[in-house]
Amino acid sequence: MGIAKTIVSGLLLALCMISPALAGIVNSKAPEFTLQDLSGKPVSISDFRGRVVFIDFWASWCPPCKKEFPELNSFIKRYEPNAVVLAVNVDRKRSHVDDFLSRMPGLSGNFHVLLDAESKIIPAYGARAMPTSYIIDREGVIRFAHYGYRDDDAGEWAAEIESLLK
C-alpha cells in the first residue's frame, strides 16, 4: 500500500509539471521579440500593435512551408494595411533563405520576412510543427494557432482574421 501511494504521488507530481506545457499558448499575450528583416533592419512585434499579426514560423527545408509561403504571401495582400505577416525563418544559413526566396514571387507590402537563425524566439511560442503559425489580435493576444499546413487553410485564415478585424 505504501508503494502504491508513492507511485501515485510521483505520477501526480509529474502531471503537475507537464500540465502547463500542454495548456498551449492561445489566449495568452504574444511573447515580445525583435528580429532583423532581410535588409538587417530590426523589427519588433510591438511595432504592429493595433493591427492583426499573422506570425508564421518556417524553414527552407520544410516541404509544407514551400507550399504555404506563396499562398500566404498572396493571401495577406487583401488585408493590407490592417493585417501583416511576420514570416520568421529558422534556417541556420542565410544562403538557404535567399535561395528559397529567389524561387518565390515578390513579397507583398505587408509580408515581412524575419530571421531567427539561432531559433531564440520559436521556443517561446511553443511551435509543435513546421510550419506553425499564430494569429494575434490588435491587442497583442494570440487567438488562433495552426500547426502544419493544409491546402484548405486559407479559408480558415480568412475567417479568423476577419473575426479579429471587426
Partner 1 sequence: MRKIVYAALLFGALAGAAGCVNVKPWEREYLADPIMQSDYNKEEKSVREHFLGTREGSVGSFGVSGGGCGCN
Residues that bind partner 1 (CB under 8 A): 2, 5-7, 9-11, 13-14, 17, 57, 59, 61-65, 90-92, 119, 122-123, 127-132, 147-149
What is the edge-to-edge ordering of all strands in the sheet holding 83-89? Answer: 42-44, 34-37, 111-115, 83-89, 52-58, 132-136, 142-147
Question: CA of 93: how far to CAs of 5, 37, 51, 142, in Å?
Answer: 52, 14, 31, 29
Q: Which is nearer to partner 1, 47 or 116 (CB)?
A: 116
Q: Which is nearer to partner 1, 41 or 128 (CB)?
A: 128
Instruction: State the nearest-atom distance from the C-beta of 100 to partner 1, in Å.
Output: 13
Q: Which is nearer to partner 1, 79 or 157 (CB)?
A: 157
Q: Which is nearer to partner 1, 49 or 92 (CB)?
A: 92
Instruction: State the nearest-atom distance from the C-beta of 52 to partner 1, in Å.
Output: 24
Cell 506553425 belongs to residue? 132
Query: For residues 158 and 163, what is the distance between their CA atoms, to the nearest angstrom?
Result: 8
Instruction: State the nearest-atom distance from the C-beta of 6 to partner 1, in Å.
Output: 5
Give the residues across from 25 on adjacent strands: none
Query: For residues 8 and 34, what is the distance between their CA atoms, to the nearest angstrom?
Result: 44
Instruction: State the nearest-atom distance from the C-beta of 78 to partner 1, in Å.
Output: 26
